[in-house]
Structure 1
Amino acid sequence: MTEGIANKVILITGGNTGIGAETARLLASRGAKVAIAARRKDKLDKVVAEIAADGGEARAYTLDVTDKAQVAAVVADVVADFGRLDVLINNAGLMPIRPMAEANTDEWDAMIDVNLKGTLYGIAAALPRFLAQNSGHIINLSSVAGIKVFAPGGTVYSGTKFAVSAITEGLRQEVGETVRVTAIEPGAVESDLKLGTSGTATDTVIDFYRQAIPASSVARAIAYAIEQPADVDINAIVIRPTRQTF
């Protein structure tokens, strides 16, 4: 169960709750050295303490993925603390659902900054190191909304996740002989993501998420991608509740 994961140094953005936290717990239980980064340090510290109590190794880093310099600094800090970086999981994300007619450009900007630019900043910080060491793995959290437009309400969110899926595939084509690249495309998953919606779409989103699967289900999919032999690249995993038709 630890083959391909044990002793790898893995950085997870948005690692304080939901998919990020569950992935950190699972990978640490399989012997990975886990770095979790997010804005809420108190929640990060709680996850680190839980991992340590179970005999795992983890460290917390305060990070706003919309700050390019901060992303680069955290990657550098992880390398300094652990000696290397093997896997980057770009997990931080926002999903405020709202009809485009309401024209909430602040929400649009936030999704572009976190979902898209945050992913790109992570790639920019980690990729040169991976190429220099001739190995590495970049895992980007997209969504089923990145393969089918989630409308009405999720049009801009879908736009950011379509972009993440496209960038992931393009990156694979560019560096796939040296660096493994994976897109994880979940459907409804129990996490704080659904709490980002306010206004007219709130009830619709909460109702949609009644079918959600646990974040641990996605964590297992991520572990599956990581544990493969070095010559095997899991390019994309779509994972959703059996009840979900979208």
Structure 2
Amino acid sequence: MNTPTPESAHAADPDDFAPLSQRALSGKVALVAGATRGAGRAIARDLARAGAFVHCTGRSTHERPSDYARTETIEGTAALITDEGGQAEAHVCDHLDPARISQVIGQIEADHGRLDILVNDIGGEAYVEWGTPFWETELDTEMRLFRAGLLTHLHTAHAALPLLTRNPGGLHVEITDGTAEFNAGHYRENIFLDLTKTAVSRLAFGLGHELAKVEATAVAITPGWLRSEMMLDHFGTTEDDWMRDSLDETRTEPPRDFAISETPHLLGRSVVALAADPDRHSFNSTTQDTHGLALHYGFNDLDGSRPDSWSFITALENDPAADPREFR
């Protein structure tokens, strides 16, 4: 079994894309904060495929590898984009450092004089300590999630929004975890995760009210069960074999429910569809999910399916034997 390298997973042929001048986001400038791997990398690639010039930020470089013990780099994301014929620039940036973020925004302003799309994707879920009561956690350790998953978003928005709002029509996207309805009725098993992800959605809600005054839009988007590079490696499967392995009753991992998972590109396509929609302000201040946006805009995941993870998760509460394939 050949496992694709992290830098080449979900590869695409540049010949599949229309000329840049004919793409829906041609001439637009985007910043994807947290574009090293997973959702951020896919969003950056899909925005570039749609014609945007994408500035990609992240901490992981060849010289300074990820503290997640991962091999993906921010330079690797930009290389994937340019190899596909897109336009991108990588910036090494710790989004807990407001001065460094301001430097990146200053370069974008100097190079383009505008910013049309901002995507806040920095997560931190790898820092979660599952199964430990809040009062028994190591506070400094667990606070890494809160700092990475929320404070970075605040720093980035504060630095970037003056440029984003310079021209009407700017789009600010917060990447979260969980629909508003699901999170309102479910505890996310860890205090720091629960607070962080609900706060990210609330950030989009609040910013939407302020951005509306300057003809800009803020939306939070949640994927379902994201089939990222990290998740595939964690379960010991590949992009070619994940469905078969999920349904293999002789295996304990991946779990059967992983059959509902979606590629990060369903999220990337969600961001592109929203950015290309002249009526996107109708979603202002809301939290959307990839399945709902796929239905609304008429796109699918890479395999042609439309996974509905949140409906499946809800169905499991009433029927533990619910078949994930019926929700794709």
Give the TM interval when normalised to the shorter protein: 0.7 to 0.9
Q: TM-score, with normalisation over the residues of structure 2?
A: 0.65
Conserved in 1, the CA contact under 8 Å of 2:58 and 2:74?
A: yes
The aligned amino acid for 2:50 is R
RMSD of aligned Cα (Å): 2.7
Q: Quick one: structure 1 residues 205 and 239, their matched pair in 2 at CA, closer, same or farther if it must change by over 3 Å?
A: farther
Structure 1, gaps ≥5 residues long: 198-203
Q: Deviations over 1:120-177 (max 9, x none)?
A: 1111011122333344211011110765166463332121111111111111112214
Matches within 5 A, 1:129-208: 129-144=163-178, 147-148=182-183, 151=187, 153-177=189-213, 178-191=215-228, 207=255
Choose between structure 1 and 2 for higher RCO, CA contacts under 8 A separated by at least 6 residues.
1
Conserved in 2, the CA contact under 8 Å of 1:65 and 1:118?
A: yes
Q: How far apart in 1 are the matches of 2:150 and 2:192?
A: 11
SS of the residue 2:283 aligns to:
coil
Structure 2, gaps ≥5 residues long: 1-17, 63-72, 235-251, 292-306, 315-328
Aligned-pair distance for 1:191? 2.1
Conserved in 1, the CA contact under 8 Å of 2:114 and 2:167?
A: no
Q: How far apart in 2 are the matches of 1:49 and 1:150?
A: 40
Matches within 5 A, 1:16-31: 16-31=36-51
SS of the residue 1:176 aligns to:
helix
Q: How far apart in 2 are the matches of 1:110 and 1:210?
A: 30
Q: Deviations over 1:211-235 (max 9, x none)?
A: 4211011111111111111663433
Partner of 1:87: 117
Q: How far apart in 2 are the matches of 1:108 and 1:150?
A: 20
Identical-residue share of aligned pairs (%): 26
Moved more, 184-193 or 56-65: 184-193
Q: Which is richer in strand?
A: 1
Conserved in 1, the CA contact under 8 Å of 2:170 and 2:217?
A: yes
CA radius of gyration, larger in = 2
Partner of 1:214: 263
Q: Do structure 1's residue 226 and structure 2's residue 256 form an aligned pair?
A: no
Partner of 1:117: 151
Q: Quick one: structure 1 residues 152 and 242, their matched pair in 2 at CA, closer, same or farther if it must change by over 3 Å?
A: closer
Q: TM-score, with normalisation over the residues of structure 1?
A: 0.85
Q: How far apart in 1 are the matches of 2:228 and 2:50?
A: 23
Q: How far apart in 1 are the matches of 2:122 and 2:198?
A: 16
Partner of 1:55: 85
Conserved in 1, the CA contact under 8 Å of 2:50 and 2:272?
A: no
Moved more, 150-159 or 181-190: 150-159
Conserved in 2, the CA contact under 8 Å of 1:41 and 1:60?
A: no
